[in-house]
Amino acid sequence: MFRIIQKSLKTGQVTGQYPAPTQPQPDVSDAVREKASVFGRSLTIREVDTGSCNGCEMEMNALMNPVYDAERFGIHIAASPRHADALVVTGPVTVNMERALKDVHAATPDPKLVIALGDCACDCGMFKGSYAVTGPVERHIPVDVKITGCPPRPSEILDALLKLQGRKP
Amino acid sequence: MVGMKDAVSGIQETFGDKIQRVELVRDIPVLSIAKTDLPAVALHIHSAPSLQGTLSLQWAADLRPRLAAYRIYYLFTLDGGAWLILQTDLQGDDRLFPSITPRIQAAKWYEREIRDLFGLVAAGHPDLRRLVRHEHWPKGTHPLKKDFPWNYIMGRQDGEYRFRHIEGEGVFEVPVGPIHAGIIEPGHFRFSVAGEPIMMLEVRHFWKHRGIEKLFENFGLMEGVPLAEKVSGDTAFGHSLCYGQAVESLLGMEIPLRARYLRSLFLELERLHNHIGDVGAICNDAAYSVALAHCGRMKERIMQLNDALTGSRFLRGLNRVGGLSMDLSEDQLNTVVLQINAVEQDFAELSRIIFNNASLTDRLETTGILKERTARDHGVMGVVGRASDIDRDIRRDRPFAAYDRLRFKVPLYRYGDVRARMRVRIDEVGESIDLIRQVRAAMTPGPVTVPVVAAATPGDWALSAVEGWRGEILYFVMAGDDGKIHRCKVRDPSFVIWPAIQFAVLGNIIPDFPLINKSFNLSYAGTDL
């Protein structure tokens, strides 16, 4: 117990030690920001994977590590869509996940936001046209924010989320 | 350890002219056998004490229109790591082949997969439910047949997947997924429990099936690397390396030494950040979140190093057919060693603290035991295998990249529980760091890529293996007309290990399942393709 506390003290603070995002993300429209304002300064996210390569999941997980620490901006990850303010959807929506995506959207209480994360979710990426893919996400459910990149870096995801929250212009 | 020649001549002696033809394809013996004789030969290779072959891969290829046949291949890894392939042809309208699953458990999912993707039926298979095709796929859709268009728009039919049931007083079922807790990929788990202990688990996957193997057939041999990087994002370098090696061996290319060293270096970097992340995640699932925070910080450090070196946190865009797309300067190599040394000390300190934590050890020990026998029957290898006394590592058994010039130990544990799997990872972190230092010391200047000169003959194929951080990645690439890919079979180790997890959880309680699942940490994307 003391040794791990000692180690944490020795390590010091690492939050914020990451390079600034380089890839510019499209601005969040005023209408969407207005819609997001109802959640105030907290945002609870349910992440839904509809066929990504799991790169986007790794970066979402990285967002919660001590370096990015999205919790400090009131961004939480929920285990159930019923607890979520926003859905973060990754992947090109496979034929096998189409119904699950619609179900999860219906199960999320209103008002809600949908964020398409990564190139696959935004426009199917390399999987466009495949017999097993029915996407992109906006074909099935209305999308409010698109975060592009393959996969987008955690700093870029965080940047987009801060814009959505109105913490950043 | 069996010599390849002895093995083949022994099989020929036993079966006489049932072995129709023996040829060597890039040093791999390929035995052609009529389909009726196949189960007997396969069983012999599997169970003869001198061979002890593990079925490592079974796959099919649609050879029409060149030949009016489908061909089914069986890859066996013999004791000691040598490869042996059996092949059998289904001529004309023949759609039936004999199942080997009743005697060789490892074939179970492969034969179901072949049925779904090609419409070829394994006669005598004990479980012919759909695997890849979920029930809403219309009857007769078999996407890897050559007459199935890659951009086909599928209809929908009604249907129900029949889970296996246990009936009795107090037995109930707990369905989990496909969308389940946390930031994780989709999969469905059906537990049958009486009280707390799990009596049966059925895993139902393939929610993420994206049609990768079909998409490969749209590409030329030189263009497949970006798609291989997206098979399983966390193993982007391992998969692209394995694909690249398959094509290089198909075209008979010699890769320059510097590129081979760099490939080993990047593969070890990938192993490092994944293993460190996994150790943290296992601790977190035992409610030890401070360890997760420390591991997350170290993992992030390596991923930022990847980004600074190559412009990609996942080492994407590096591999190409014929070598690497970039070289590292002396300064960059020194930075790598500097950073790695810092992580080594940091991680060693942390792992000492982790192992001194009695309440954590209590959760990890004897939880989720995968018995050596079960692991062997399923053909399990990689991290999970080495925790269950399966002594296999492609880096040592079939050296690729620069591993024939590097020294390392392969950690091996017997207990097969969560703690053993964590120990294998912790030991491998140390080995990887040492390997990177060896690479740094041994590297000499030189080119990192060779130009492509040859073209592949249609119908020619190559097989390649890479020890990714999870285990053996296998690629089978067959050349088609005009430099296109005719067939690309991708196998991530996860595909093999998922069925085994169903046995590792038996007798454990459901609240321990996330912990057990995390200690396996298998890829859903790499399984579903």
> Quick one: pLDDT at residue A30?
86
> Range of A42's domain?
26-165
Q: Which amino acid is at B243?
A: Y
Specify the residue for token string 């349910």.
A46
The total of structural domains in chain A comes to 1
Handedness of CA B44, B48, B51, B52 (dihedral sign): positive
Which chain A residue has the Cα nearest residue B289?
A65
Which chain A residue has the Cα nearest residue B226?
A126
Distance (Å, whole) CA A49 – CA A53:
9
HEC string of chain A equals: CHHHHHHHHHHCCCCCCCCCCCCCCCCCCHHHHHHHHHHCCCEEEEEEECCCCCHHHHHHHHHCCCCCCHHHHCEEECCCHHHCCEEEEECCCECCCHHHHHHHHHHCCCCCEEEEECHHHHHCHHHCCCCCECCCHHHCCCCCEEECCCCCCHHHHHHHHHHHHCCCC
Contact yes or no for A49 and B185 at CB 8 A: yes
Give me the total of CB pairs closer than 8 Å, taking one residue from chain A and one from chain B. 158
Which chain A residue has the Cα nearest residue B274?
A58
Q: Which amino acid is at A94?
A: T
Distance (Å, whole) CA B183 – CA A55:
11
Rounded (10°) CA dihedral B524, B525, B526, B527: 50
Contact yes or no for A96 and B209 at CB 8 A: yes
Q: How far B435 CA lies from chain A's nearest CA (Å)?
A: 25
Which chain B residue has the Cα nearest residue A119?
B230
> Quick one: pLDDT at residue A114?
95
Contact yes or no for B293 and A4 at CB 8 A: no
CATH number of the domain where residue A115 is located:
3.40.50.12280
What does the radius of gyration of chain A's CA atoms come to, in whole angstroms?
A: 17
Distance (Å, whole) CA A126 – CA B84:
35
ipTM over 0.90: yes
Q: Is A41 part of a structural domain of the chain?
A: yes
- The three-class DSSP label of residue B424 is helix
Q: Which residue spans within B125-221 are E strands per DSSP?
A: 171-176, 188-194, 198-204
Phi and psi at B133, nearest 5°, equal -75, 115
B203, B182 contact by CB (below 8 A) = no
A112-143 pLDDT tens trace: 999 999 999 999 989 999 999 997 999 999 99
Of B143, B181, B234, the CB nearest to A79: B181
pLDDT beneath 50, residues of chain B: none
Distance (Å, whole) CA B492 – CA B202:
20
Contact yes or no for A7 and B353 at CB 8 A: yes
Best of B208, B276, B279 to disrupt the A interface (most A CBs within 10 Å) is B208
- The three-class DSSP label of residue B31 is strand
pLDDT beneath 50, residues of chain A: none
Which chain A residue has the Cα nearest residue B525?
A53
The CATH number of B255-493 is 1.10.645.10
Residues from chain A that touch B150, judged by Cβ atoms under 8 A, are 129-131
The CATH number of B4-123 is 3.30.460.80
Lookup: tokens for A48: 């839904």
Q: Is A130 part of a structural domain of the chain?
A: yes
A120, A91 contact by CB (below 8 A) = yes
Of A4, A8, A67, the CB nearest to B300: A67
> Quick one: pLDDT at residue B2?
60
Ranges of each domain in chain B: 4-123, 171-204, 255-493
B295-340 pLDDT tens trace: 999 999 999 999 999 999 999 999 999 999 999 999 999 999 999 9
Of B210, B297, B316, the CB nearest to A14: B297
> Quick one: pLDDT at residue B6?
83
Q: How far A70 CA lies from chain B's nearest CA (Å)?
A: 13
DSSP 8-state class, residue B151: T
Distance (Å, whole) CA B412 – CA B423:
9
Q: Is A19 part of a structural domain of the chain?
A: no
Lookup: tokens for A44: 């609870």
Q: Is A2 part of a structural domain of the chain?
A: no
